[in-house]
Structure 1
């Protein structure tokens, strides 16, 4: 493994931890009190806006680092024809779906906050945040399988 490979791996994992942790935090610690009206609108908008930016910046980092790792570790045949390749493709699909769910959820919530509402937009966004959180757990489990050399 080269220094570049180690840097790419580290940046990839670092952003994965930041992103999935942020999704889980917002879904489990921020949205429930927001649906009860226990969070201020400005604070909620700031947290959700930050999640949206983390998600977008992480997407760029994942494209660069994941693209490097896939390009150096896999061929089309090994991505489509091996268990490890299937795990990589599963992670890619989960990443796209989670990113879409975060964008939809944060858009619903922020649009509602702009109209002066709090509980209703939080309730509308809640299923999308919960789905993103659940899939984030699946993403982490898939990454764990991929990181274990003896699994496949």
Structure 2
């Protein structure tokens, strides 16, 4: 076993927890008050800006750590012909989808906040963040399945 694997695994999981937690926090705890106009636009912009940066930094971490793990633990054949490989590919697809939804939702929010609005951009961003939150749960479930050694 490669001595670097536990480090890569830890960094990968750490960023995954931070990122998916951030997505869920924005969707479930920040967006609802924004929809009601109960949060300051500056605070909302700051929170969404931080989520955007976490998303981008996590992407770099995922490419480095996930790439290392995939390269040392899987072959192209095992990724495409095994249940575990399919779970890895599912996680990659979910990651791309969630990233796209967060970027689109963040863009809608920040564009509206820059125009001095609050409720309308929150309403416009809502489907993107709710979709990202739902897919984040699916990502965590997929990761749990992948981490279950006796399941497959």
Same fold (TM over 0.5): yes
- How many equivalent residue pairs? 152
SS of the residue corresponding to residue 120 of structure 2 reads helix
RMSD: 0.5
SS of the residue corresponding to residue 54 of structure 1 reads helix
Deviations 1:44-65 (A, max 9, x none): 0000000000000000000000
**Which stretches of structure 1, 4 residues or more, deviate above 2 A after TM superposition?**
none
User: 2:144 is matched with which residue?
Assistant: 144
Aligned-partner Cα distance in 1 for 2:46–2:2 = 39
Residue 84 of structure 1, CA deviation: 0.2
Q: How does 1:98-117 map to 2 (within 5 A)?
A: 98-117=98-117
Aligned-partner Cα distance in 1 for 2:7–2:150 = 24
Aligned-partner Cα distance in 1 for 2:3–2:21 = 27
| Unpaired runs of at least 5, structure 2 | none
Residue 91 of structure 1, CA deviation: 0.2
User: 2:120 is matched with which residue?
Assistant: 120
Residue 151 of structure 1, CA deviation: 1.1
| Unpaired runs of at least 5, structure 1 | none
